[in-house]
């Protein structure tokens, strides 16, 4: 199942390129944004993994420490086909010796302790370093101009294509679940998140087409930069316009729930059965510390995004890739 061609905000792609030619071409470094306490009953491990799935690493850590995998914590799922640094928490019930851990593609960089399990969404941001190869055509001047626009205005906060699976496989899974197919707890969660992501991207694409993805409208929710806080905007005054222009607040859209009337009936009924409550997500994401380095038919990008934002939302405003 092919995905819709969701609207771009800053113009058509400037070039095509190869992405993830090798794991080292896609580097992700997690920023917790806070310091573990240094004591407590949970070991906190800063791990560098190469071509390894986050869930797989969590399972291996649980087996090594002799604890249930559900008690291993991490702040977010990270790309498999990449080099990533992220934190895991593991109960230290059996005092595991982490210096003896031997897993292919996994290196323990730091060990500390904390009082509580690491929860999803507990990190602040992710740093990215991405190398694009085999650029066709290579247009440094136009690329630099587009980079400046992205840095100044941000990009639409789309869920990345990976959320929907290869060739839209997760959408097919979601439709099967909505029609009543029984799924495991993990796959049911994937189906729910896919429905919500697809609906959000559709609404955001319409705002991009309307030219209002980065503007507050009366009746919007406003998301406070760097937080999950939102407030209603019954009227847009000059102060709110200025705060939005300064990216202190962002217009936010709905993550669908059981009461979302704009959903197709089958999807709404499925979310109602699962008792999914509506949430929200910013329509715009700021791109911090954006730097670019041109090479011979290559382009290296560095930037930082808040948690939950996708690097591909930045790349799609610049190029196409394969």
Residues serving a catalytic function are 79
Question: From residue 20, how far is each of 2, 23, 57 by CA, in Å?
Answer: 21, 6, 21
Q: Tokens representing 103? A: 């897993």
Residue 31 tokens read as 């920023």
- Three state DSSP letters for 46-78: EEEEECCCHHHHHHHHHHHHCCCHHHCEECCCC
Structure tokens at 39: 């004591």
Smallest CA-to-CA distance from 247 within 282, 203, 219 is with 282
Which residue is associated with the tokens 């310091």? 35
**Cβ-based neighbours of 100, under 8 Å, separated by 6 or more:** none
Measured between alpha carbons, how far is 300 from 292 in angstroms, rounded to an integer? 6
């Amino acid at each position: 199942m092919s995905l819709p061609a969701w609207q771009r905000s800053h113009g058509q792609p400037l070039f095509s390129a190869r992405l993830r030619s090798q794991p080292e071409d896609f580097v992700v470094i997690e920023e917790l944004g806070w310091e573990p306490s240094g004591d407590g009953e949970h070991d906190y491990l800063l791990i560098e993994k190469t071509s390894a799935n986050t869930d797989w690493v969590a399972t291996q850590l649980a087996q090594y420490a002799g604890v249930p995998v559900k008690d291993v914590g991490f702040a977010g799922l990270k790309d498999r086909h990449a080099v990533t640094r992220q934190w895991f928490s593991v109960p230290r019930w059996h005092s595991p010796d982490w210096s003896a851990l031997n897993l292919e593609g996994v290196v323990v960089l730091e060990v500390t302790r904390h009082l509580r399990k690491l929860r999803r969404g507990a990190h602040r941001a992710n740093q990215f370093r991405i190398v694009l190869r085999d650029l066709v055509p290579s247009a440094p001047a136009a690329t630099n101009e587009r980079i400046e626009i992205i840095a100044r205005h941000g990009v639409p906060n789309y869920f990345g294509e990976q959320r929907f699976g290869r060739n839209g496989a997760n959408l097919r899974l979601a439709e099967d679940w909505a029609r009543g197919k029984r799924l495991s707890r993990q796959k049911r969660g994937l189906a729910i998140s896919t429905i919500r992501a697809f609906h959000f991207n559709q609404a955001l694409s319409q705002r991009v087409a309307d030219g209002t993805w980065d503007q507050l409208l009366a009746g919007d929710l406003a998301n406070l930069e760097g937080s999950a806080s939102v407030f209603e905007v019954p009227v847009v005054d000059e102060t709110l316009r200025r705060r939005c222009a300064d990216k202190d607040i962002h217009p936010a859209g709905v993550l669908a729930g059981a009461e979302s009337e704009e959903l197709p009936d089958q999807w709404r009924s499925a979310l109602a059965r699962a008792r999914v409550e509506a949430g929200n997500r910013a329509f715009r994401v700021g791109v911090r510390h954006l730097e670019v380095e041109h090479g011979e038919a290559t382009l290296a990008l560095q930037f930082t995004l808040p948690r939950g934002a996708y690097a591909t939302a930045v790349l799609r405003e610049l190029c196409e890739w394969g």
